[in-house]
Amino acid sequence: MKFFSGFCLANEQELFTPYLKPSDFTVAGFSYGAIKALEYALTCKERIDTLQLFSPAFFQDKDAKFKKLQTLSFSKSKDTYTQNFMQNIVYPSMFDMQPFFQKGTLEELGELLNYTWDEEHLRSLQERGVNIEVYVGECDTIINAISVKDFFIPFASVYYLKRVGHILK
């Protein structure tokens, strides 16, 4: 299995053990890592049976003002921005994310905020026989779970998990 980590994180795949399909033919990613997992799946020449996207970083429902504010806040104080971000990804749980923390970059933040999920890319994976699964939490304060659900439902099995946030806890 190949797993791609989220923004400001590393090696957090154990958080998704209840949902992960450990197989040589599974590609998975969390949040920003979901973007990387999709891009990998699109270019990979090897067999992929399942693409699992956990709380995919989906911001195409946000306006330019929101995205600019995020990048300005990060640029002004990386530590404050990251501290708030880490609190928001665990909400509503009280889970300690410190063991998985890794400093993020402005370039990564810009990429995840401005990434456009392309329906044709998802359709092409479907046509290749890749089973796409998307997991979103009802209480997610990072992304709009309803927007994610509505966008992905034509291409994926979407699991809308009640009473959990971005890390699905």
Residue 103: its pLDDT value, please?
95
- pTM for this prediction: 0.97
Chunked into runs of 10 residues, the chain (169 residues) has average pLDDT values of: 97 96 96 98 97 98 98 97 96 94 97 98 97 98 98 98 97
Domains of the chain (ranges, CATH numbers):
2-161 (3.40.50.1820)
Output the pLDDT for position 151.
Answer: 98
Q: Give me the pLDDT at residue 20, please.
A: 97
Q: Are strands 26-30 and 131-137 parallel, antiparallel or unpaired?
A: unpaired
Q: How far is the C-alpha of 169 from the C-alpha of 162, rounded, in Å? A: 10
